[in-house]
């Protein structure tokens, strides 16, 4: 009672909100501190073994643990504000912890059986994170089906290796041979493709947009990366199977081309981000399949941090005024191509990057730098449009960024000590991927930069992915 007016607590306000927030902050800070301590110990004393060889924390796992702890704390802090009035906020708080622990366990898995168990738990956690009321439940059911197929493939691959070698250590992968090797490799690739949302098992990923933004941020920050962990762990086996390598590289390359094409054609920010993840995961899988395990691990962490930030800030994206797009001419592209070659060569030379490393597979990263630089230079208002002080400064900035990227990747690969065997003909695979991506970008490019037949091809690709995320209720109830 105040001034004769009866007051009642506002609906949805929890009496213990402040206390729970304080406890959550303390626990989060302790988790981050523990993760950093583990990283320091592993960097100095080497890998930690827990419960025998069931849990092994090497440098890759320790680095991922620090990243997971920091990113989950950031996402939960964001969700505390955004989901303050959402009835599902308690579900998210519980599911986010479950998801984070399962993602860390996947990296900590010390043998084949532990990896399979962690993958299954991670799939359950991902579906539980999305699950909720209304259209979210059918999406979660679809996720369970698709990820379940991938998990069955992984379990079958592990069973084949264990039955053939009579052991569960990762070292047994190197001794597996014959038909078992090829079959287990193909099953492992299928599992990785399903978890990374790659074509043709990509349908579940765009539909997760029915969940709140924090859920999308957490999915794309870590849980979708589980396929990369599977591919890295089975790398020594897959590299010896031409069939498995071909299946994985073809599917990942198609996913890159399709993902970029659809991303360019969608105006919705979060939808474009989802298809960007499909393309990025394809690039990461190609890295693993050609033997660049350290670079792939670095991209897993970098992509998770970058993409989660984009999702969390997607709500503040403002519509920009439409500007006239300058017409691209062959002369502009020639200038962009020459500048790209100069910037890329300078970056490789200054960074001292060994392009012949990993059986020549390192050319993939050089091509990635070149294609990124060319895309920026050939943009409608890019540097190649004209010579000015601003253009010169931007060009110097691009050269510096490319140099720093190659230098950091090289150092991080060396620090991780994550060697993966390159498949036979690694250079051939890399060249095939580069040619496919360049041709795909030209065919599916936007207006003014595409080939004559690209409008029809691009329209078909976009139409194939234009089914609304909310139509899953009808899909599950024919």
Q: CB 17: neighbour CB atoms within 10 A?
A: 12
| Across 22-31, 237-246, 310-319, least confident range | 310-319
Q: Which residues contact 305 (CB under 8 A, 6 or more apart)?
A: 67, 71, 221
Verify cis geometry, omega within 30 degrees of 0, for the bond prior to 200.
yes
Q: What percent of the chain has pLDDT over 70?
A: 79
CA distance 85 to 73: 20
Closest CA to 174 of 236, 234, 114, 112: 236
User: Residue 327's pLDDT is what?
Assistant: 52
pLDDT at site 453 = 57
The alpha helices in 234-387, defined as continuous H runs, are 235-238, 242-265, 269-289, 293-312, 330-351, 363-377
- Comparison of pLDDT for 166 and 133, the residue scoring more: 166
Three-class SS of residue 5?
strand
List, for residues 294-315, the tens digit of each pLDDT value. 888 888 888 888 888 888 777 6
Statement: residue 257 has pLDDT above 80 = yes
Residue 181 — very low, low, confident or very high, per pLDDT cuts 50/70/90? confident
Burial (CB count within 10 angstroms: exposed 0-12, middle 13-18, buried 19+), residue 123:
buried
Q: What is the structure's pLDDT at 466? A: 55
Rounded CA gap, 55 and 112, in Å? 11
Residue 436 to residue 251: CA distance in whole angstroms:
12
Q: Compute the distance between CA of residue 337 and CA of residue 235 in angstroms, rounded to an integer.
A: 35
Q: Which residues pair with 109 in a beta bridge?
A: 55
Q: How high is the pLDDT of residue 153? A: 93
| Most confident range, picked from 143-147, 155-159, 393-397 | 155-159
121-125, 216-220, 267-271 — which is least confidently predicted? 267-271
Please report which confidence band the pLDDT of residue 7 belongs to, taking 50, 70 and 90 as the band edges: very low
- Pairwise pLDDT comparison (190 vs 417), residue with the higher score: 190
Residue 122 has pLDDT above 80, yes or no: yes
According to the model, what pLDDT value does residue 456 have? 66
- Residue 410 pLDDT: 84
Residue 8 confidence (pLDDT) = 42
Q: Which of 14-28, 329-343, 359-373 has the lowest mean pLDDT?
A: 14-28
The two tokens of residue 22 are 């304080």
């Amino acid at each position: 009672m105040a001034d004769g007016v009866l007051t009642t607590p506002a609906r949805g306000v929890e009496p213990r909100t402040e206390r729970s927030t304080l406890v959550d902050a303390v626990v989060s800070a302790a988790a981050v501190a523990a993760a950093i301590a583990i990283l320091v110990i592993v960097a100095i004393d080497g890998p930690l073994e827990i419960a025998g060889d069931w849990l092994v924390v090497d440098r890759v796992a320790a680095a991922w643990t620090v990243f997971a702890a920091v990113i989950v704390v950031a996402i939960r802090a964001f969700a505390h504000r955004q989901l303050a009035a959402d009835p599902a906020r308690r579900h998210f708080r519980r599911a986010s912890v479950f998801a984070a622990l399962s993602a860390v366990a996947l990296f900590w898995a010390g043998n084949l059986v532990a990896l399979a168990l962690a993958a299954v738990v991670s799939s359950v956690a991902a579906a539980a994170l999305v699950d909720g009321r209304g259209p979210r439940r059918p999406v979660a059911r679809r996720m369970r089906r698709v990820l379940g197929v991938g998990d069955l493939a992984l379990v079958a691959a592990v069973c084949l290796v264990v039955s053939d070698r009579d052991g569960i250590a990762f070292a047994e992968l190197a001794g597996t041979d014959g038909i078992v090797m090829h079959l287990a490799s193909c099953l492992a690739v299928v599992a990785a493709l399903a978890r990374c949302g790659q074509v043709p098992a990509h349908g579940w990923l765009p539909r997760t947009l029915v969940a709140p933004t924090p859920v999308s941020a957490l999915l794309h920050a870590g849980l979708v990366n589980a396929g990369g962990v599977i591919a890295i762990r089975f790398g020594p086996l897959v590299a010896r199977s031409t069939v498995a390598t071909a299946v994985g590289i073809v599917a990942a390359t198609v996913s890159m081309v399709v993902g970029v094409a659809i991303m360019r054609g969608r105006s919705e920010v979060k939808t474009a981000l989802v298809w960007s993840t499909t393309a990025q995961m394809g690039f990461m899988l190609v890295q693993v399949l050609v033997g660049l395990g350290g670079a792939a691990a670095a991209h897993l962490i970098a992509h998770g941090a970058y993409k989660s930030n984009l999702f969390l800030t997607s709500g503040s994206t403002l519509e920009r005024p439409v500007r006239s797009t300058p017409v691209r001419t062959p002369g502009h592209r020639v200038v962009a191509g020459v500048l790209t070659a100069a910037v890329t060569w300078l970056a490789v030379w200054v960074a001292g990057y060994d392009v012949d490393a990993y059986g020549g597979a390192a050319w993939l990263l050089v091509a990635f730098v070149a294609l990124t630089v060319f895309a920026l230079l050939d943009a409608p208002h890019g540097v190649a449009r004209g010579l000015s002080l601003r253009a010169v400064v931007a060009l110097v900035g691009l050269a510096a960024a490319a140099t720093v990227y190659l230098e950091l990747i090289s150092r991080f690969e060396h620090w991780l000590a994550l060697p993966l065997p390159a498949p036979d003909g690694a250079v051939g695979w890399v060249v095939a991927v580069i040619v496919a991506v360049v041709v795909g970008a030209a065919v599916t490019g936007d207006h003014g930069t595409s080939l004559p037949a690209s409008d029809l091809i691009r329209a078909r690709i976009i139409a194939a992915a234009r089914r609304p995320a909310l139509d899953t209720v009808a899909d599950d109830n024919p």
